Amino acid sequence: MKKISLFLILLILASCSKKKEEVQENFSKLPWSTIEKQAKGKEVSMIMWMGDAKINQYMKNYIVPKVKKENGINLQIIDGQGSAVVQLLMTEQQANKTESDIDLMWINGETFYQLKQINALFGPWTNLVPNAKYIDFKNPFIGTDFQQPINGFEMPWGNVQLTVIYNSKKVQNPPQTRADLLTFVKKNPGIFTFDNQFTGLTFLKGLLIDISGSKEELSGPFDAVKYQKYSTKLWAYIKELKPYLWRQGSVFPESVAQTHQLFANGELWFTMSNNDAEVDSKIQEGLFPETTQAYVPTFGSIQNSHYIGIPANSGNKAAAMVVANALVSVEAQVKKMNPTVWGDGTILDLSKLSPQDKAKFESIPARLKSPKRTEIQDKALKELAPEYMVKLAEDFRKNIINN
């Protein structure tokens, strides 16, 4: 039975691949003005993580009206991320559905990897989008996603680096090394933890790289031998931390939003964020106290980009590309980078912009409590191959959460 199912799935995937190539060939022959005409009046469903009020406001109050006014596109935002996106598209393929329920998706490297395995991505398409010429594709933190060349199958949207956030009223000298962290939590039990989802796993990847002894030791394709060697030391370290974590490590927050809330109400002295400018926006909205600050430990933290993808069986590819073009426009990137709006780092190469457009980025309000990117760039760690995150998630649950 399993062999028959696999055979049917492969037939479906081959069919999807053929359709994808035919559509791409047609689009590649069209001028952008014609693609814009095709997009006019269409409805685009975009699936994305909706766990942050500021991001939701940016999309609802700025992007949605922008594409409606400029392109006549009705943009609908749907909540969903990661495995839910993969499962949805896989289910549609297996049902031989000709048009997907979604046209655009906010994805990261792990999801990108999984979608490539089931041939669920439309592309290459980014070379067709006018504003792509300003994107800094040569930057290894932008043009490569979890060690994977993006090859035109996803559009960079923003660039961020993980920071540890703390209340400076309670913490005068935040821990800088793994040894410092262990010593600190032993002296101050119950005030530190990390979530069991994307942000927490990204923090664990930083620890794994530190344990490996070199920024480049785990670069390249997934290495099972190296993973076993260094993850064994990682879990030994986390087990030593565990009794001194929040609730003695008996439970971990299910999301970074929950960790933020525990920090906001004083139950935790620390939280963390994949967005290095988030502290300012959270203080501005009143969630974090004025004494909140953020930093990157000396062992470094992951810097990565997040991306926009189009499903292979989207029925509105032209409109999806037009929306993507708006998302990476100078105006949208400038607004998004404002720390009181979102604080998301730009993926544009400012040297490619006109003096007028470059000046718009230079006039963005300065960060107040968040570290400047120039202060933490030398501590930036490249993302690992996606299998590392998959294995860390599995082993964290097996070795720590359920043990």
Confidence band, pLDDT 50/70/90 cuts, at residue 98: very high
- pLDDT for the residue numbered 351: 96
User: Percentage of the chain surpassing pLDDT 70?
Assistant: 94
CA distance 328 to 36: 16
Mean pLDDT, range 336-351, rounded to an integer: 94
DSSP secondary structure of 239-277: HHHGGGSGGGGS---SSHHHHHHHHHTTS-SEEEESSTT
Element (H, E) at 161: strand 155-161
- pLDDT for the residue numbered 17: 44
Please check the confidence at residue 22 and state whether its pLDDT lies above 50: no
Please check the confidence at residue 23 and state whether its pLDDT lies above 60: no
Please check the confidence at residue 114 and state whether its pLDDT lies above 60: yes
Name the β-bridge partners of 311. Answer: 121
- pLDDT for the residue numbered 14: 45
Please check the confidence at residue 2 and state whether its pLDDT lies above 90: no
Please check the confidence at residue 309 and state whether its pLDDT lies above 70: yes
Crossing angle (nearest 10°) for helices 317-327 and 32-39: 110
User: Percentage of the chain surpassing pLDDT 90?
Assistant: 89
- pLDDT for the residue numbered 3: 35
Model confidence pLDDT, tens digit, residues 222-278? 999 999 999 999 999 999 999 999 999 999 999 999 999 999 999 999 999 999 999
Answer with the residue of higher pLDDT: 371 or 5: 371
Give residue for tokens 């933490």: 376
Model confidence pLDDT, tens digit, residues 132-170? 999 999 999 999 999 999 999 999 999 999 999 999 999
Do 39 and 319 contact (CB within 8 A), yes or no?
A: yes
Identity of the amino acid at 328: V
Mean pLDDT, range 104-123, rounded to an integer: 95
Please check the confidence at residue 9 and state whether its pLDDT lies above 70: no
Helices (H), 291-329: 317-327
Q: Which residues contact 377 (CB under 8 A, 6 or more apart)?
A: 161, 303
Backbone angles phi, psi at 144, to 5 degrees: -125, 130
- pLDDT for the residue numbered 5: 41
